[in-house]
Chains A and B, each alone.
Chain A
Amino acid sequence: SSELTQDPAVSVALGQTVRITCQGDSLRSYYASWYQQKPGQAPVLVIYGKNNRPSGIPDRFSGSSSGNTASLTITGAQAEDEADYYCNSRDSSGNRVVFGGGTKLTVL
């Protein structure tokens, strides 16, 4: 079982805004990082730290955090954003790495 909890599936209409959430005790002290994974591919980092995007990640991706909940927001979702999204941090002790169970995003 994951120590980070995500909704299994979320859908969004093309061009609309969607928020994917991740809950866990460790998020009170760790910023979540977020990964996009398309079928048959390795995960790709899309958000890290307070709200940072690696080079090449569109600015429609953003991150935020409040209490024990982290959020990934896609503003103006595109068809190519349809993928699985995973949150990640270390656990509260700092000794382990944890992943959320993943959220399957469907763009309608």
Chain B
Amino acid sequence: GDSVTQMEGPVTLSEEAFLTINCTYTATGYPSLFWYVQYPGEGLQLLLKATKADDKGSNKGFEATYRKETTSFHLEKGSVQVSDSAVYFCALNAGGTSYGKLTFGQGTILTVHP
């Protein structure tokens, strides 16, 4: 079945450091890929998405590129801020009969220190 694997966490960085959170997936067909973020005390919210191979999603300085050849969707940010501290979830939607369903990875806790 469909699955998403994220890098083991937690991740701790200093402000202005470079961030990479790895995400790989297994799915039949051509899934859409997402990064969701959960800030402390808030609900999950969409950070960015990509719907086909080689698409790049971007938002708030974060980027991720849909790599079909490596089945990956790694999240990157060039310079993190304390306000980026949150839990990040990679997810996919396989489409077809799974049209309404998101499959999530286990989440990566990011802590950014001043």
Chain A partners chain B: no
Residues of B that sit less than 8 Å from A by CB? none
Residues of A that sit less than 8 Å from B by CB? none
